[in-house]
Amino acid sequence: MAAPHKVTVFFDERVLAHAPDSDLSFVPGRMDRRIRQILSGLSVPWRYPEHPGRLTSILQFLDANPVDGVHFAHGAKATAEQLGRVHTTGYLDALYHLRGQNAWLDVDTTAVSPGSIDAAEVAAGTAIAAVESVLTGATESAFALVRPPGHHAESVRARGFCLFNNVAVAAAHALAALGCERVLIVDWDAHHGNGTQQIFWADPDVLFFDLHRASPFYPGSGQMNEVGAGLGEGTTVNVPLPAGTGDAAYLKAIDEILVPAADWFRPDLVLVSAGFDPHWMDLALNVSYEGFGAMAGAIQSIARKHCGGRLALVLEGGYNLESLPRGVHAVLEVLAGGPVPQPGVCGFAEVEAAARFHRDAFIAPDAE
């Protein structure tokens, strides 16, 4: 039986081998001129934002600021069979053909370097390892620190820095090989998880709940009326949010939409596509570190209510090297048994402190 607050962080250094170069040529070649025009029109030189430093910054911060109850484990490499549960054979063959190469893939700025395909296989396999650990009782919750991210990858194409859809591969593995009947996926990344939605669009066994900045913010999908189809109608839940949305709205959505949806769905497993780009330092939304911790606490409560606490998080976005590791740390503190923070309104505490400091300087003469 797992310790009640044990958390396992899964990391495999092979994911660091994904290192695209923004000066590469494009595949297919006819896109090269258009992409060069886009990049040349930027006011500053463009560099590939999804780089190995994202993970090394997290690991360095966790090493300097350890969280009691957090343990580390190695990842694994996904097999073609595991990937093939959510991606077509033709798509997998196309990516395998790029193993060992440098290439741009599309206008969504998705690229590969010589180590990228191996890294992507390990990212998906490490997400599977995290799921296996919570379903076997080795740990109550798990966090897969992986890259490239996955939630934009569709069944037939790479998009938005994503090659394989890590959380979808893990969910499909839980359903096909680990005895799960219903999987809840929560995506709190700033960008809509178009790939995860597309893969499970008609699947009644996966409830996909996505909080994201509304269109026209990338990738432009995730309207409220996108609810799935066929047997899966109603198991896709989108909550598009305006720029500047912060903690209070996120927690309100979880309390008033996700909680009753989970009560209806009764998942065997809860997965989170955990992106940290909703933090204000990433210039997308206005979630605080306390907000990430509070969301983790709320989702952990859902997992404990319905499926014995079985909860696995998979890293998605987050590109600011200060806010990303601090956000991950805030989540791990809560999962490991720390207090669930109560986010306030940004700046209120500081204004109250300043008011106390300055109050005596502005006493009116007739009040003395």
And the tokens for 189?
């990344």
CB 218 within 8 A of CB 212: no
| 345-366 core/surface letters (b: 16 or more CB in 10 A; e: else) | eeeeeeeeeeeeeeeeeeeeee
Cα separation, 100 vs 104, in Å, equals 13
Query: To 5 degrees, how large is the angle CA 243–CA 209–CA 239?
Result: 30
Give the largest CA-CA distance in the chain. 83
The single residue listed with the structure tokens 């992106």 is: 275
And the tokens for 115?
């180590």
Q: What is the DSSP-derived secondary structure letter of residue 26?
A: B
Q: Is the peptide bond before 114 cis (omega within 30 degrees of 0)?
A: no
Catalytic positions, written as ranges = 152
